[in-house]
């Protein structure tokens, strides 16, 4: 009999602080484990576990809202879809999409940050240009 060792995946999470109309703040913990991805994929018919889903087609607002809500369910099952929808507006859409992408593919995010750092470190410090008259 052969055995396969399955190590528990290290799931990254993000902390989100929401400011409410009454001036109070509440902190939420977001995670995109396979339970969250499966629930969002079932509801939206999009496979958010695939990198190509993120890069070849932008999620629609309803899909992104559902994925965002599913990312909160593990630690905040009491939060409703309608409540999460009230936190967002079109201006926040790209920020939420980037946050969820970083949760889904943390190694890609780390690689991109390292690439940006290495490019910045190799850039010479250029002197300020003199104004022309």
C-beta separation of 69 from 84 below 8 A: yes
Higher pLDDT, 69 or 102: 69
Q: What is the DSSP letter of 73?
A: T
Domain boundaries, the chain: 31-105
Instruction: Find all residues with CB under 8 Å of 118, minimum gap 6, and list them.
Output: none
| Owner of token pair 């099952």 | 77
Residue 130 has pLDDT above 50, yes or no: no
Model confidence pLDDT, tens digit, residues 55-87:
777 788 899 999 999 999 999 999 999 999 999
Q: What is the pTM of this model?
A: 0.73
**Predicted confidence band at 128 (pLDDT cuts at 50, 70, 90)?**
very low
């Amino acid at each position: 009999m052969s055995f396969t060792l399955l190590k528990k995946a290290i799931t990254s999470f993000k902390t989100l602080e929401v400011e409410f109309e009454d001036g109070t703040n509440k902190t939420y913990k977001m995670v995109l484990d396979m339970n969250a991805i499966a629930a969002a994929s079932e509801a939206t018919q999009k496979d958010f576990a695939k990198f190509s889903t993120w890069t070849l087609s932008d999620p629609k607002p309803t899909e992104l809202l559902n994925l965002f809500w599913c990312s909160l369910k593990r630690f905040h099952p009491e939060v409703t879809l309608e409540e999460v929808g009230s936190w967002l507006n079109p201006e926040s859409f790209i920020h939420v999409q980037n946050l969820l992408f970083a949760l889904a593919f943390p190694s890609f995010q780390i690689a991109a940050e390292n690439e940006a750092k290495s490019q910045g470190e190799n850039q010479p410090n250029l002197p300020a240009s003199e104004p022309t008259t």
